[in-house]
């Protein structure tokens, strides 16, 4: 379960196109034998070939821009003409021709003091000179950690040799096969790598090998590919990994303005010049999940890292959600003992099964930040395909080889294949390793523990960016700590995934465990049990902020100054931040400033802590039976939580209800959920059946595409009794694509009057009694009133609604002497107060 196995679960059924041609595609999906044709009229270019492939036609039809359509067409045509991929690639691995790899789990052994090998590979050579030649290679030791004594046994014949040859370093296999003294003739070759198992023994040996023989500890180059807004977590990661002898190269997804600015600050604060951020169009990529661009990112970054004056021996790639589970000394020692080796994790399945699951036998084209599946392909002959996880630790020599700007034929040809491959970083390095002269340095261990929970993580959650159903590992939580602690004797140095907004306690726990000598300092550091994550920053251009979030944040900024009775001209929202304390979400922080009306130059800047109100009540009989009931957007099925921390819902949002009932509840229990719009009209009814095992879950109502703005109501009915009710806001929008909305657009967006919902008369009748007994505020207003509000008083209208759904609790003062408020820097909840774990100022 902890292995980083292939992500590709199954093919995503291609969606029908909504704009044109939809019938044809639907029809085709129903009847696979029907041929469909490309609608040439939708193209402003002439396709270079005739093509009818279902997947390619679907991709061209779904793509929006002509550039992307043309790219899909060109690649499809090249593939059809057999010009896209090399037919055959020559492997450069000395063992290579025609060998079959079979993972084995037994067979490498010594007495129980010195050797335990967990897995190895059994290579069967089918040479010209029969009988069969076999080689047995144990590449991974579960106790390599203590691996200072490498011994090699190379012998011929079926019997074990009496004498053991010891070789001083880990490249024994190469020496064995290269050096005539140890070379293996005959038809059976066994090379066993093993290591001293007892830690103290290893320690002694390590000292001899490092100090005694003047071996320098290796230097590590970390390649951090980061995305999202968890800048404080990335800083914490850098803090814990930092050592002056290591290099940190940070690639921020090209679309993430905020994280990029934050990382530039990290780079600036480090005078020693060993933290470097990728800059410019050539070096920054929109590295979408599973995209070909992720491989480009890794290779281009590797080239920059090789060119950096800071010399390094190993490249280790990590993301924003990785965290170490051994300390820096342990990792450095381990890699020092394994200099020249390459650590990658293989799938451990039958190769063909891996290829199919991973979609390696399909051509994918990346454009419009999406991986389009365009059809089948034949993988080149002559090489061994391998893959698994894209988290790796590669030796400098291998990186120089694989990322060389003028690569040899093997790499050039493999790059042609992997340019059109889904999740290329999960197979490219493995495949190059296996087929190059580095094949003997392959170690089937990527030093990572991955928290796979496939039932949760394989929900096809990336279908918005790839034509495939992928999986993602889950975040570790505190209760998983024993799993991490149990890796103590294994050569595992990192774990993924961690997210402070999901569980910060596990990150704290791991850090306390790794650096127990600093325990007091760590846990007493300022801001230790708090976490802040940015939701919005005024300098962000990309990605676009959700307009509902922007509307609510701006409204809150106005309401805060209003509460302070400050006479202002203009309120500017600077930042919106989610604030967590003791691992609980507390509320939203709004950082804003005003220019005072009297003095045009003077500005007041404040930060305020705001709580979303939970307008929720239950009947007396049901008190305590409902743990939570929440309507919000961006429900993450994997972590079973909403990602929209401010909870803003706009007219174009897709609200979801999540529920959690108490285990004491009588089951089975049938519940009806009534969604009622601000005018008291029944918009949707959902039914859930609570069973003993399904007390938590979520419901996605099917609404019209455009929601009516105002306060919505949700009723929970059990046995025709109203047991709980709550309301939520669908906010009118004051922004459209992040710009102030113009009156015309505002009218269209905020004044939707839905003629009818898809509720039958019968159902309406069934619930009318209940609905008539409730007083709906908006029922008393007329649609035309809204028009007035939209035209002249949009902000006031929004503020009035927002006030009902959010509570402004505390305010601190950033830069003002007149306001009698606590200074934010001394206010524990403020995003401006100290946060030592994410403070990189004294790092280097």
Residue ranges that bind ligand UDX, judged by CB under 6 A: 4, 7, 225-227, 253, 287-289, 294, 319-321, 389-391, 450, 472-473, 497
How big is the chain by its Cα radius of gyration, in Å?
30
CB 676 within 8 A of CB 705: no
Provide the CA 542 distance to its chain's centre, in angstroms. Answer: 18
User: Closer to ligand UDX at the Cβ: 70 or 301?
Assistant: 301
CB 291 within 8 A of CB 367: no
User: Closer to ligand UDX at the Cβ: 39 or 634?
Assistant: 634
CB 325 within 8 A of CB 484: yes
User: Closer to ligand UDX at the Cβ: 464 or 523?
Assistant: 464
Q: Is residue 501 classed exposed, middle or buried when 0-12, 13-18 and 19+ CB atoms within 10 A define those classes?
A: buried
Q: How far is the CB of 344 from ligand UDX (least distance, A)?
A: 11
Peptide bond into 543 cis (omega under 30): yes
User: Closer to ligand UDX at the Cβ: 177 or 287?
Assistant: 287
CB 118 within 8 A of CB 105: yes
User: Closer to ligand UDX at the Cβ: 229 or 725?
Assistant: 229
Q: How far is the CB of 611 from ligand UDX (least distance, A)?
A: 30
Q: How far is the CB of 303 from ligand UDX (least distance, A)?
A: 18
Alpha helices in 105-246 (DSSP H): 172-178, 199-207, 231-241
List the structure tokens of 763.
Answer: 């159902």
User: Closer to ligand UDX at the Cβ: 423 or 645?
Assistant: 423
CA neighbor of 812 nearest in space, from 642, 646, 620, 610: 610
Provide the CA 832 distance to its chain's centre, in angstroms. Answer: 27
**Measured between alpha carbons, how far is residue 799 from residues 557, 655, 741 in Å?**
10, 21, 16
Give the separation between CA 713 and CA 692, rounded to whole angstroms.
27
User: Closer to ligand UDX at the Cβ: 223 or 578?
Assistant: 223
Q: How far is the CB of 109 from ligand UDX (least distance, A)?
A: 32
Give the separation between CA 216 and CA 530, rounded to whole angstroms.
39
Q: How far is the CB of 616 from ligand UDX (least distance, A)?
A: 33
User: Closer to ligand UDX at the Cβ: 473 or 587?
Assistant: 473
Give the separation between CA 477 and CA 480, rounded to whole angstroms.
5
Provide the CA 338 distance to its chain's centre, in angstroms. Answer: 30
CA neighbor of 320 nearest in space, from 262, 233, 243, 258: 233
User: Closer to ligand UDX at the Cβ: 24 or 284?
Assistant: 284
Give the separation between CA 258 and CA 256, rounded to whole angstroms.
6
CA neighbor of 265 nearest in space, from 226, 235, 224, 297: 235
Residues 686-700 as b or e (16 or more Cβ within 10 Å = b): eebebeeeebeeebe
Dihedral over Cα of 721, 722, 724, 728: its sign: positive
Query: What element of type H or E holds 368?
Result: none
Query: What element of type H or E holds 139?
Result: strand 133-141
User: Closer to ligand UDX at the Cβ: 468 or 568?
Assistant: 468
List the structure tokens of 545.
Answer: 């902020």
Q: How far is the CB of 4 from ligand UDX (least distance, A)?
A: 6
Q: How far is the CB of 448 from ligand UDX (least distance, A)?
A: 9
Name, in order, each residue with C-beta under 8 angstroms of 529's C-beta and a sequence gap of 6 or more. 504, 508, 581, 582, 583
Give the separation between CA 184 and CA 156, rounded to whole angstroms.
5
CB 373: neighbour CB atoms within 10 A?
21
Q: How far is the CB of 321 from ligand UDX (least distance, A)?
A: 5
User: Closer to ligand UDX at the Cβ: 246 or 497?
Assistant: 497
Q: How far is the CB of 534 from ligand UDX (least distance, A)?
A: 16
Give the separation between CA 671 and CA 701, rounded to whole angstroms.
14
Q: How far is the CB of 447 from ligand UDX (least distance, A)?
A: 13
Give the separation between CA 714 and CA 704, rounded to whole angstroms.
17
Q: How far is the CB of 254 from ligand UDX (least distance, A)?
A: 9
Q: How far is the CB of 533 from ligand UDX (least distance, A)?
A: 15
Q: How far is the CB of 767 from ligand UDX (least distance, A)?
A: 42
User: Closer to ligand UDX at the Cβ: 465 or 525?
Assistant: 465
User: Closer to ligand UDX at the Cβ: 55 or 390?
Assistant: 390
Compute the CA torsion angle 386, 387, 391, 396 (nearest 10 deg): 20
Q: How far is the CB of 504 from ligand UDX (least distance, A)?
A: 18
User: Closer to ligand UDX at the Cβ: 224 or 832?
Assistant: 224
User: Closer to ligand UDX at the Cβ: 21 or 225?
Assistant: 225
Give the separation between CA 236 and CA 810, rounded to whole angstroms.
28
Maximal C-alpha separation, the chain: 97
Q: How far is the CB of 474 from ligand UDX (least distance, A)?
A: 9
């Amino acid at each position: 379960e902890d292995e980083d196995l292939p992500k590709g679960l199954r093919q995503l059924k291609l969606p029908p196109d909504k704009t044109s041609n939809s019938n044809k595609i639907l029809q085709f999906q129903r009847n696979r034998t029907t041929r469909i044709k490309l609608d040439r009229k939708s193209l402003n270019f002439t396709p270079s070939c005739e093509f009818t492939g279902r997947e390619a036609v679907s991709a061209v039809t779904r793509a929006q821009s002509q550039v992307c359509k043309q790219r899909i067409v060109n690649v499809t045509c090249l593939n059809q003409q057999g010009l896209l991929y090399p037919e055959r690639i020559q492997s450069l691995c000395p063992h290579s021709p025609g060998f079959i790899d079979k993972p084995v789990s037994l067979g490498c052994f010594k007495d129980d003091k010195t050797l335990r090998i967990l897995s190895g590979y059994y290579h069967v050579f089918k040479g010209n000179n029969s009988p069969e030649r076999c080689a047995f290679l144990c590449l991974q030791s579960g106790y390599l950690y203590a691996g200072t004594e490498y011994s090699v046994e190379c012998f011929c014949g079926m019997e074990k040799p009496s004498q053991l040859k010891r070789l001083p370093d880990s490249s024994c296999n190469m020496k064995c096969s290269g050096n005539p003294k140890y070379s293996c003739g005959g038809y059976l070759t066994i090379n066993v790598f093993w290591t001293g198992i007892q830690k103290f023994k290893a320690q002694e040996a390590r000292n001899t090998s490092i100090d005694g023989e003047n071996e320098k500890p290796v230097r590590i180059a970390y390649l951090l590919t980061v995305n999202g807004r968890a800048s404080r977590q990335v800083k914490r990661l850098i803090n814990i990994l930092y050592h002056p002898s290591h290099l940190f190269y940070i690639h921020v997804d090209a679309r993430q303005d905020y994280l990029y600015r934050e990382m530039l600050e990290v780079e600036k604060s480090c005078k020693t010049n060993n933290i470097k951020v990728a800059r410019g169009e050539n070096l920054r990529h929109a590295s979408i999940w599973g995209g070909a661009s992720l491989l480009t990112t890794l290779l281009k970054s590797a080239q920059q890292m090789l060119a950096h004056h800071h010399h390094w021996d190993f490249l280790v790639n990590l993301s924003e959600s990785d965290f170490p589970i051994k300390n820096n000394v342990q990792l450095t020692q381990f890699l020092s003992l394994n200099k020249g080796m390459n650590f990658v994790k293989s799938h451990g399945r039958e190769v063909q099964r891996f290829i199919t699951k991973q979609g390696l036998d399909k051509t994918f084209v990346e454009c419009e930040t999406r991986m389009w599946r365009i059809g089948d392909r034949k993988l080149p002959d002559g090489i061994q395909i391998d893959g698994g996880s894209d988290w790796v630790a590669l030796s400098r020599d291998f990186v120089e080889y694989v990322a060389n700007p003028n690569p040899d034929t093997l790499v050039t040809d493999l790059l042609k294949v992997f340019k059109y491959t889904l999740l290329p970083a999960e197979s490219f390095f493995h495949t190059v390793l296996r087929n190059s002269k580095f094949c003997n340095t392959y170690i089937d261990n990527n030093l990572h523990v991955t928290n796979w929970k496939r039932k949760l993580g394989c929900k096809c959650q990336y279908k918005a960016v790839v034509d495939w159903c992928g999986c993602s590992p889950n975040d570790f939580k505190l209760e998983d700590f024993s799993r991490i602690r149990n890796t103590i004797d294994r050569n595992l140095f990192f774990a993924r995934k961690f997210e402070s907004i999901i569980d910060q306690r596990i990150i704290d726990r791991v850090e306390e465990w790794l650096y127990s000598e600093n325990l007091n300092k760590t846990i007493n550091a300022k801001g230790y049990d708090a976490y802040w994550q940015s939701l919005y920053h005024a300098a962000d251009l990309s990605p676009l902020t959700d307009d509902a979030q922007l509307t609510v944040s701006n409204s809150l900024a106005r309401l805060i100054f209003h509460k302070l009775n400050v006479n202002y001209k203009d309120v500017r929202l600077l930042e919106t931040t989610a604030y967590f304390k003791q691992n609980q979400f507390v509320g939203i922080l709004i950082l804003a400033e005003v220019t005072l009306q009297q003095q045009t130059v003077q500005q007041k800047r404040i930060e305020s802590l705001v709580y979303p109100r939970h307008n929720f009540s239950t009947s007396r009989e049901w008190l305590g039976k409902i743990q939570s009931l929440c309507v919000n957007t961006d429900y993450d099925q994997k972590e079973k939580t909403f990602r929209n921390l401010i909870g803003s819902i706009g007219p174009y949002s897709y609200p979801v209800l999540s529920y959690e009932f108490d285990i004491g509840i009588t089951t089975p229990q049938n519940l009806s959920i009534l969604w009622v719009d601000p005018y008291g009209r029944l918009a949707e009814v959902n039914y859930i059946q609570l069973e003993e095992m399904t007390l938590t879950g979520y419901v996605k109502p099917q609404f019209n595409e455009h929601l009516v703005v105002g306060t919505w109501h949700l009723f929970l009915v059990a046995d025709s009794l109203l047991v709980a009710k709550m309301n939520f806001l669908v906010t009118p929008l004051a922004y459209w694509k992040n710009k102030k909305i113009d009156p015309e657009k505002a009218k269209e967006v905020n004044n939707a009057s839905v003629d009818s919902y898809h509720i039958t008369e019968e159902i309406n009748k069934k619930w009318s009694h209940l609905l008539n007994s409730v007083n709906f505020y908006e029922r008393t207003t007329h649609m035309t009133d809204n028009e007035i509000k939209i035209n002249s008083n949009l902000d006031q209208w929004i503020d009035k609604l927002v006030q009902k759904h959010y509570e402004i609790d505390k305010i601190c003062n950033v830069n003002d002497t007149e306001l009698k408020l606590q200074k934010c820097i001394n206010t524990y909840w403020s995003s401006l107060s100290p946060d030592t774990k994410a403070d990189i100022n004294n790092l280097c």
